[in-house]
Amino acid sequence: METTLKKVEGKYLTFRLGREEYGIEILKVREIVAYMEITPVPLTALYIRGVVNLRGKIIPVVDVRRKFGLPEVAASRDTCIITAMVEGKEGEVLTGLLVDGVSEVTQVAASEVEPVPALGEDMKLDFVTGLSKTKGRVIVLLDMDKVMQGQDLEELQKLEKFTQDAKASTKKEG
């Protein structure tokens, strides 16, 4: 177990969903942008809010609250989008993660991480790499590649390809 916990050691960007704090590896994060208008895309999964145009690049946005089955809340001035690279079968996908707010970048030591407790066969939490007890609070450490896997990634990759194809056809017309 010691070697598994050593793998989660490192720098994490922490973000909030309600009163809970989560962390993703800083190496996955590209940037943090203020909440902006999200264009819905029909026939996508409920947790995929749509796409944003970020400096000419169309990026799919995942509502992390919806993905985790949490109740929706109105956007606040702290609401933001974390752009992160998620590894799929066909390579990396730049994905926007809609969160309630960003907390900080924090260093997590292996000694501060507890393994995820077993919650029974029905509760598969393989996307949680550990629970960090940092600065008197608990941070749920996430493996974004496992949070967004299988069907989720296929949907994001289709959406990314769709927007690239649409952009290419618009250029041809213009």
Domain ranges, ordered by start, for the chain: 2-165
Does the domain formed by 2-165 have CATH 2.40.50.180? yes
Q: 51, 36 in Cβ contact below 8 A?
A: no
Contact between residue 95 and residue 60 where contact means Cβ atoms under 8 Å apart: yes
| pLDDT score at 1 | 43
Q: How far apart are CA 167 and CA 109, in angstroms?
A: 44
- In this predicted model, what pLDDT tens digit does every residue of 13-68 receive, in sequence order? 999 999 999 999 999 999 999 999 999 988 888 899 999 999 988 899 999 999 99
Lowest mean pLDDT among 38-47, 124-133, 144-153: 144-153
Reply yes or no on whether the pLDDT at 135 is more than 90.
no
Burial of 91 (0-12, 13-18, 19+ CB in 10 A): exposed
Q: Tell me the pLDDT of the chain averaged across its residues.
A: 83
Confidence of residue 173 (pLDDT cuts 50, 70, 90): low
Mode of pairing for the β-strands spanning 80-88 and 137-142: unpaired
Mean pLDDT, rounded, for 151-164: 64
Comparing 7 with 80, the larger pLDDT belongs to 80
The 10s digit of each residue's pLDDT in 110-126 is: 899 988 777 655 556 67
